[in-house]
Amino acid sequence: MLVGWLWYLSMLLPVIGIIQVNLQAHADRYTYLPQIGLYLLVTWTVADFLKTPNAEHRTSNAELKPLISTLSVGRWALSVFCVGIIAALAFAARAQASYWRDSETLWTHTIAVTKDNYFAHASLADLLMRRGRVNEAIEHSEEALRFRPGDADAQNNLGLALLQTGDLKRAVAHLQKALEIDPGHMNAEVNLAWILATSPDNSTRDGARAVQLAEDVARRAGHPNAIVLRTLAAAYAETGRFVDAIETAQDAITVAKATGNDGLAADLERNIAAYRSNQPIRSGP
């Protein structure tokens, strides 16, 4: 019993988190190793209880035979009970493991069994966006922001999803909010720059601001990025710098092909054709 208890305490102390940080309070993985000590404690305690008295003890204590017989029945019942507990735990473990079948199942289940879980909604929204289920992604992004409006990533993700649907006014509002929260949020800068450079709405476009945002990201990125360069090229074109737009778009094509993104490279070729005609590009949903 002492060994099991000491195991539990020694394994739990390093991860107990006297001061809880972020989602640590909900992370059951921290209990996996400590629980081994509890299992040892229970197993050895039950094993000691189930031991049959030795022959000498039975002979010298004949008057206790009725009590021993009663204890034997109790031990048998306890054994059956323990087997039932193990079977129930095995069934529960199998059911719990099924929720980890894939990310969508995991986050959907997490939302169902927890309250106000912004992280689960935000994670599911990101997954749905990558799968092209934009409207569902918007719903979960909005839920995430309802619980935590100061999350820059969630603001950016909602802005990006709204951009995909063509709701540019709301997209700009959420991207600007993301940058208010985190002025150095590069994804929000790129997404906002793209809208400001390519929006079909004259009142939304702001080429100078788009150039500023895209150049800032390109400078801080540390390595060439095809999406960033495409956005910067579009911003240059919006401000009439078509030579710079062509050169930047050509650099973006080189990066896109090097990373196997032939679809983006083809889009950039079409953009360059517009720039050579002194035409900025306009995006749609």
* Structural domain boundaries, residue 58: 2-98
Q: How far apart are CA 280 and CA 271, in angstroms?
A: 8
Query: Does any domain span residue 77?
Result: yes
Q: Kind and range of the H or E element at 111? A: helix 103-113
Find how far residue 189's CA is from the centre of its chain: 21
61 is a domain residue = yes
Mean pLDDT of all residues in 228-251? 97
Residue 207 lies in a domain: no
On whether residue 123 sits in a domain, the answer given is: no
How does pLDDT run across 169-197, given as a tens digit for each residue?
A: 999 999 999 999 999 999 999 999 999 99
Q: Is the pTM of this model over 0.85?
A: no
The answer to whether the beta carbons of residues 110 and 26 sit under 8 Å apart is: no
Long-range contacts of 48-54 (CB under 8 A, 24+ apart): 49/75, 49/78, 50/75, 50/78, 50/79
Q: How many beta carbons lie within 10 A of that of residue 242, not counting itself?
A: 19
Q: Tell me: the pLDDT tens digits for 17-50?
A: 555 555 555 556 666 677 777 777 777 777 766 6
Token pair listed for 256: 């896109």
- Looking at the structure of the chain, the number of domains it has is 1
For residues 234 and 93, which has the higher predicted lDDT (pLDDT)?
234
With tokens 């150095």, the residue in question is: 184
Q: Which residue has the higher pLDDT, 18 or 237?
A: 237
Q: What is the mean pLDDT of residues 185-212?
A: 95
Is residue 25 a part of any domain in this protein?
yes
Tell me if 128 is assigned to some domain: no
Residue 104 three-state SS: helix
Confidence of residue 264 (pLDDT cuts 50, 70, 90): very high
In a domain, 87, yes or no: yes
Tokens of 152: 């820059």
Long-range CB contacts for residues 214-220, cutoff 8 Å, separation at least 24: 214/189, 214/190, 216/189, 217/186, 217/189, 217/190, 217/193, 220/184, 220/186
In a domain, 141, yes or no: no
* DSSP reduced 3-state for 185: coil
